[in-house]
Chains A and B, each alone.
Chain A
């Protein structure tokens, strides 16, 4: 069992028990390890991508644009320009002679044709190396076309996704403060760190509307450039998702004095607490009353139905491996609400504080892991004999090969998992996969020793 963990990684895996908690994290991945992490560019791209009326141009060889073409189910209620793939498709001669002229021509052509409200230009590894002056070209193109053209310094090798989130926040911050804030209510906020997967931000916006609070900007799900430009007129930043948009909230706090609160829209407890946190901030009895009513109304229909799922799922075991650790807190609580036990929890990019909190809320014996890999994950899943694994695209087939249920809590979720209704969707999804009749055919589960039934070609 221990043999699947690199010696250098021993301190990035912890089993909750008697020994003191001291998990190493925030480390560069070991060269040669099959890490599930991605790069800076990936981080920037996933954060900015949902801004639907902006142009997103990838300055680099074709791969970076091809792999990020419409891969995130971030829904837009209007423009769809963000779902196209634009690339300068750098060739060998560009790498030798530089890609600045090409970039300028590409920007000019695209802006003239599509009239976007702003343009984001993503730097990739190669651009960082050949030293194209992204800032300069963007400035020139902005001047020529009259729209904000924003460089995103997202060279892949500069770190992991967290560095990419930071670069994205810096690019967005250049838009903030450039719009007219006239008419924005004193009871207003920006939603940060929600990407409108499966239409989730629409659910959350509706809640705030029912509380009597104006939403100024969605950052970034179903996002608009104009809203970002006037986001500094909001009274509060409500931040979900640990890494992605916190930097922007901090910058806005420093420069515009806008306070922020951290929230999570996953699970009943966290969803309700998030709304109350916002209500308390505005310190208005009417808002608080409306919030109480909202939570009451939503829960009334929800609890009886959740109880049904709970009866079926009690005692089942869950494993969680997600990008950012913050999401894992809510998942642990949500599984508890369903009567389930979380036996493994980990993330690609958690911080020491994140892991301490995870340690505090999990049960004895739970495995806590940072920057894991398929071999480790599969051995933990088997050891703990889990019924469901929650993760992203690269984790799904590992679960299925082992004959374990799976729920995508990442870009490929098809049902809204946020909000009160999201908890019900989540319960339904967990139930469907855990109780699927397919598992009776899995050799391991059926008590038959799983054997390759197909001879290899040797």
Chain B
């Protein structure tokens, strides 16, 4: 897939785990061991950021607050805290998703994929227009007209 993911967590074990897993999935992984390092690595232009909330130097929520204006990629929080308020705060701060430790790595992988897919869709969002029977695909320069007759549905290429 070739997309770039930034992983920031003060726990070395978790960083390694995520790096190994996502590299096996075909992503490029950049790592950061703390909030300050994460701010530094943002310059690489990741397509997705996975941030731990409890980092000693600069916590995940503060990092998110600082970068939210500058980056538009999805931000997913990792945390061991289960309180609802923290989930809410994380999402209000600009996070796009939240996963609680201990999590299933497959679930995390699926969520990351879903967020990246959505970003892709977003990029192509202006490319299709539908009006009544007529659907136009701008990128492919094709339009389709669907006329329904009783008992049959026939798309016609126009």
B is bound to A: no
B residues bordering A, Cβ < 8 Å? none
